[in-house]
Amino acid sequence: MWQVLVPLLLGWLLPAVSGHNASQEERSSPDELLLCRSCGFEVADSRDLKFVASALALAQRNDTVIGERRVPVQLFQNPQGLRFQVLTFKKAAVHRHWPAEEQFSWFPGHSWTVATCPRCHNHLGWSFQP
């Protein structure tokens, strides 16, 4: 199982340590956190980033998302035509809304559930499982 989080133009999730007040050692720390932009809940750790390639991605690029790290970002489109840029994590602290759906999966052979912030319930992405 892994989580797909949607930073929506890399804005939904922010590094926990950033800005000019953080020391260089803190900024390059391997355990930077991604937070829910709405409430600040600690959603994921940068060490849990796990690139899961999909043949259904419309595009893929590397971007600097967490400090200086180059992170693969994939672009997907849902059946309604909405496009999402996503990051994949091997784990994230999200609430999964069961039952899982098998149709329209961006990762063939995997079902998905909506993933929301456990604190404020904002939509953050999806959780995929075989």
- List pLDDT tens digits, range 1-23: 766 666 542 333 443 443 434 44
- CA torsion angle 71 60 94 41 (round to 10): 50
- CA torsion angle 94 76 31 127 (round to 10): 30
- pLDDT score, position 21: 41
- Dihedrals φ, ψ of 27, to 5°? -65, -30
pTM for this one?
0.77
Q: Which of 40, 126, 36 is nearest to 82 (CA)?
A: 126
The average pLDDT across 71-97 equals 92
Q: How far apart are CA 10 and CA 75, in angstroms?
A: 12
Written as six digits, the tokens of 28 are 């390059």
